[in-house]
Structure 1
Amino acid sequence: MKTNSTTITLLNNSKNVKQTMINFLLLSFTLLLLGSCSKNDDNDIVIEQFLDGLELETEIIENREQALQTTILNAGGSGEVYGAEGTILYFPANSFEDQNGNPVTGAVTIELIEIYDKAKMLLTKMPTNGKRPNGDVETLVSGGEFYINAKQNGEQLQLVNDFMLFAPSDEFDEDMRLFNGQDNDCNDEILACDIVWEEDEQVGLEPMQREGPNGEGVSGYGGFLGNFGWTNIDRWFNDPRPKTLLQVDVPEGFNNTNSNVYVSYDGEPTALASLDIYNPETGLFSEHYGLIPIGLEVHIIFLSVQNDQYIYAIQQVTIAENHLEVIGTTTTGTEAGLVALINNLP
């Protein structure tokens, strides 16, 4: 990412402003074509990149790839994997088989992504959207998100038995449960899929004391998993206040192909919901079912990547009935600057 940082102001999405902007652009392009046969290359490049969604998608994939840690284990013996942020995986001996059901021996590569904070959730597009059994999508509070996989010589392996997941935590919340990541009909879970979390009612969590890689004692959540892919330790966000629909109007030129909108819940360091419903007719992002508590204090985060820089806005909001939030001023800056801002949110 580039290191310079500037602030720009973009027109909001009111219908009058939109129509005025459209009329102005059409007139400008018409005059340009009539007055000259040559292109304004600088302007063409700016408009093309400003509307592009490929950079955002590429950045998300690169962030997931950079977060991926690999560890080599001997398939014939038991072994442990230690994540950089405190995650521990324990695999019993002879835990793996190939795609044909044959036992695997020799060196096996264990892949791990661990996510414990909002900034990393944002950069990897791994929000805490959970799906209820009735299909309702609501916000979760996370105790850690994980991608876990095993390969040998690049070939996907299968599990023979369960393995243990340990996630460090200063306190044990009895409401925390294990959730599995359900992808959006993608072929590659780690790189390009949008994940929604569904509770695994067959598996529980227990408070656990472990010895870390340096011999220090750590406490946290322990559970046994029987599948590879995305796993999340979560509880449902509960608030008894009346609920309403939240909609967000993003700057002109942006939509769900080139930007994302998130809701950061104040007071919950690991609750980051994605407004994953987009109406192309109104140009509004929203959540699913009008389940945002009225009076809730949140921060709305608008995010895009253009011209090799992050374009973002962070707006403090108290949710009102039928809330419509308009993103007006955005900032162009670096990933490091954005991460610092997200980590400093209440």
Structure 2
Amino acid sequence: MKKQNYFTSLFFAGLVAMGSVSCDDNNDDKDTTPVVIKPGANDKISTVHQDQVAAMKQTFTLDAAGGAIEGEEGTIVSFYANSFFKSNGDPVTGDVTIELVEIYRKSQMLLTNMTTQGIDASGNIATLVSGGEFFVNAKQGDEQLVLNGTFQIEAPADKTGGIDQGMKPFMGAEQCDEGICKNVWRQQDRDMKIGESTYNIFQNQFGWTNIDRWYNDPRPKTTLFVDVPEGYDNTNCSVYLSYDGEPTALASFDRYDSETGLFTEHYGQIPIGLEVHFIMVSVIDEQWYYAIKSATIGADHVETFTELQPITEAALITLIDELP
């Protein structure tokens, strides 16, 4: 039933979109060829993703003596007494502001560009399956605080399909390629307790934390390429790979060749025969545009997008979260 809802939503979104980008029905020529919308110089997709992170940020007031806060999605972050210091080494007293971002759903990963790719033991970028991504920070006024010791993140496992004993803690790290920067995950050698219904991480630094396991598929691997419409590149659109059957696995095509106009992933780690959905999004004049294609991965797979359709952010969220 979930797949049926997805394709029903996609059908009606497509009907609305075609009406939005086709020529006027009153035109004497009755030309119904879709208008190809191209991004302008100011349509920077990185700015859109940053704004999405900012919009998801929750703030809480906590006494520096310690305590806990609970996010809208049920994440609990607990701090011990004397956890906060100023940059000069002075202990903090009084109220502090705790910042929290919770990401559990595939749509949230896409909107914020916080995808599930990590750097493995060989230095390659490989796909992860997430049990939740979290940004935690502390300030007093405008001053950034320093963590003393550890804090605890308690994440409800039912948000990502239930307990998975293979989950490990990861820390976010920024990686830049030709001026385009994104987050990648590095596994940490830290304590993590898996309870009956929660994951519990004891983190020793502010920033991004992810609960993950490595995606494992024994089939032969290949490299993927995505051809996007003329006028689109890595500055004004984002391209993703959604793994069917994995509700919290979303990879990004974060390499772009300006000579060929192709997006690709890093190390040819995509299993041949894998069933997936390719996703392309852009924001033009504050309007979301998208395209989604289902596919079964073949050797040296090339997926081609020819046009994007307009969609509301709410409808896009629904489509992404209803992917199989």
- The normalised TM-score by structure 2 is 0.85
| 1:305-324 paired onto structure 2 within 5 Å | 305-324=283-302
Matched, 1:331 2:309: yes
1:243, 1:292 within 8 Å by CA — same for their partners in 2? yes
Tell me by how many angstroms 1:55 deviates: 4.4
- Alpha-carbon distance in 1 for matches of 2:212, 2:108: 16
Of the three residues 57, 60, 69, the one matched with 1:71 is: 60
Matched, 1:182 2:173: yes
SS at 1:195 equivalent:
strand
Of the three residues 90, 99, 118, the one matched with 1:111 is: 99
Deviations along 1:166-190, one digit per CA (max 9) or x if unpaired, are: 01013321210000000137xxxxx
Extract unaligned runs of 5+ from structure 2.
Answer: 1-12, 23-34
1:113, 1:147 within 8 Å by CA — same for their partners in 2? yes
Matched, 1:81 2:69: yes
Matched, 1:225 2:225: no
Matched, 1:196 2:207: no
Whichever of the two has the greater Rg, that structure is: 1
- Alpha-carbon distance in 2 for matches of 1:5, 1:50: 20
SS at 2:175 equivalent:
coil
SS at 2:39 equivalent:
helix
Aligned-pair identity (%): 50
Deviates more, 1:84-93 or 1:162-171: 162-171
| 1:84-233 paired onto structure 2 within 5 Å | 84-170=72-158, 171-184=162-175, 194-200=182-188, 202-208=189-195, 219-233=197-211
- Alpha-carbon distance in 2 for matches of 1:262, 1:89: 30
1:179, 1:233 within 8 Å by CA — same for their partners in 2? yes
Give the number of equivalent residue pairs: 293
- Alpha-carbon distance in 1 for matches of 2:84, 2:291: 46
| 1:274-289 paired onto structure 2 within 5 Å | 274-289=252-267
AA paired with 1:161?
G
1:9, 1:328 within 8 Å by CA — same for their partners in 2? no
Structure-2 change in CA distance of 1:64 and 1:344 (3 Å): same
- Alpha-carbon distance in 1 for matches of 2:164, 2:191: 12
- The normalised TM-score by structure 1 is 0.80
Matched, 1:239 2:228: no
- Alpha-carbon distance in 1 for matches of 2:114, 2:16: 26
Question: Cα RMSD (Å) of the superposition?
Answer: 2.3
Tell me by how many angstroms 1:328 deviates: 2.0
Tell me by how many angstroms 1:154 deviates: 1.3
Q: Equivalent residue for 1:18?
A: none
Of the three residues 298, 302, 311, the one matched with 2:280 is: 302
Q: Equivalent residue for 2:17?
A: 6
